[in-house]
């Protein structure tokens, strides 16, 4: 335990064995998902994991097929459209929510105005409104507004989350010094210019983290589209995959292929913004 201890010891080996064991538990379902995505309905039933047989690495590669992926994008299921819908819905929601929350969070932390206390109180109170309570009344209200079966009805309620305002408020307090804002004001920059040019770059880790949070939230939003959208061609991946599960109940290969297509864009986005995400998560969200 002191600095002189050699790095390879019994506890060191045990720690790594444990980490590897947990890694296997985490990875096996993911591998299973990928492998199953390349199996036919029959192939899924015949081989639990990889189809062993004659071929390179002892695997019968001829048993694996991209037929299921092809079926997904054909007119039979038309997952291409759902993919576009999901990307559009998630990207729009993420950008609007990040902009709206950053604007409000920054204002409540860095600007002085009458009613500031009341606003802060409102944001804190809003954090404890439980989402399940709003499910049924929101449906009725969107019906009254004529927003059912429209993307507007799905996006607008999702772009003003109070916790976003709270996160950006904390991030501003932490990383945007008031003296810099004051200097910019003396230089004659307008308030919106100061926000856009000075504050927003300083909030970059939180912007990255919040883009991911809101993008993922809409990508994985199931209850929202299930309630608001009615037309089949408007549905995002989450609902289409669920419907595929109901319609092609026993074709697990197809189902896994659809799941694979659904998670690849998100995984790519996350790897791209990962550094910001971890930084944002540990700077603003967890202030112990």
Partner 1 sequence: MTKDTKAAPYLFLAPFLILFLVFTLVPLFQSVPLATQHTFGPDASIDVGMEKFSRAFGDPRFWTALRNTLVFTTGSVLIQLPVALALALVLNRKHVLGRGIFRLLFFSPQLVGLVFVAVLAMVMFQKQKGLVNSILAGGADLIRGLPIIGGWLPSKSDILGIPWLETLAMPALIITALWMYAGFNMIYFLAALQNVPKELEEAAMIDGAGPIRRFFAVTLPSIKPVAIFVVLLSVIGSIQVFELAYIMLPEGMGLQDSGLTLVTYLFKNGFEIGDLGYATAIGWLIAALLSIAAITQRVLNRSEVRL
Output the CA torsion 148→225→212→197 (10° steps). -10
Exposed e or buried b per residue across 100-118, where buried means at least 16 C-beta atoms within 10 angstroms of its C-beta: bbbbbbbbbbbeeeeeeee
**Chosen residue from 28, 52, 232, 247 binding partner 1 by CB under 8 A:** 28
Question: Which range, of 50-58, 64-72, 73-81, 219-227, touches partner 1 by CB under 8 A?
Answer: 219-227
Question: Which range, of 62-70, 73-81, 135-143, 170-178, touches partner 1 by CB under 8 A?
Answer: 135-143
**Cα-trace Rg, the chain:** 24
Q: Does 215 bind partner 1 (CB under 8 A)?
A: no
CA-to-CA dists, residue 91 to 94, 146, 206, 211, angstroms: 5, 24, 17, 9
Q: Does 40 bind partner 1 (CB under 8 A)?
A: no
**Chosen residue from 85, 98, 108, 235 binding partner 1 by CB under 8 A:** 108
Neighbours of 267 (CB within 10 A): 10
Q: Does 151 bind partner 1 (CB under 8 A)?
A: no
Please identify, using beta-carbon distances, which residue of 56 and 188 lies nearer to partner 1: 188
Binders of partner 1 among 61-90, rule CB under 8 A? Answer: none
Q: Taking a C-beta distance cutoff of 8 angstroms, is the pair 210, 101 a contact?
A: yes
Q: Does 118 bind partner 1 (CB under 8 A)?
A: no
Please identify, using beta-carbon distances, which residue of 56 and 112 lies nearer to partner 1: 112
**Chosen residue from 129, 179, 231, 233 binding partner 1 by CB under 8 A:** 129
Q: Does 184 bind partner 1 (CB under 8 A)?
A: no
CA-to-CA dists, residue 256 to 200, 259, 263, angstroms: 40, 5, 11
Q: How far is the CB of 114 from partner 1 (least distance, A)?
A: 9
């Amino acid at each position: 335990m002191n600095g002189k201890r050699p790095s390879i010891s019994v506890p060191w080996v045990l720690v790594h064995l444990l980490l590897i064991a947990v890694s296997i538990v985490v990875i096996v379902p993911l591998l299973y998902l990928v492998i199953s995505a390349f199996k036919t309905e029959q192939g899924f039933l015949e081989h639990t994991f990889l189809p062993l047989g004659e071929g390179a690495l002892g695997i019968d590669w001829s048993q694996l097929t991209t037929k299921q992926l092809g079926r997904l994008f054909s007119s039979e299921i038309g997952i291409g459209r759902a993919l576009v819908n999901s990307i559009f819905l998630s990207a729009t929601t993420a950008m609007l929510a990040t902009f709206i929350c950053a604007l409000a969070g920054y204002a409540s932390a860095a600007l002085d105005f009458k009613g500031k206390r009341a606003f802060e109180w409102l944001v804190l109170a809003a954090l404890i409104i439980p989402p399940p309570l709003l499910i049924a009344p929101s449906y009725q209200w969107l019906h009254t507004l004529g927003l059912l079966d429209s993307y507007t009805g799905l996006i607008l309620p999702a772009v003003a989350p109070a916790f976003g305002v709270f996160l950006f408020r904390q991030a501003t307090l932490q990383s945007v010094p008031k003296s810099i804002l004051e200097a910019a004001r003396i230089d004659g920059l307008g308030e919106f210019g100061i926000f856009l040019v000075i504050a927003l770059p300083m909030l970059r880790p939180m912007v990255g983290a919040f883009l991911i949070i809101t993008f993922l939230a809409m990508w994985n939003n199931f209850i929202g589209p299930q309630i608001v959208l009615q037309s089949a061609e408007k549905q995002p991946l989450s609902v289409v995959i669920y419907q595929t599960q109901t319609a092609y109940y026993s074709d697990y290969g197809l189902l896994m292929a659809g799941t694979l297509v659904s998670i690849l864009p998100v995984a790519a986005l996350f790897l791209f913004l990962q550094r910001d995400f971890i930084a944002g998560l540990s700077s603003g969200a967890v202030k112990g």
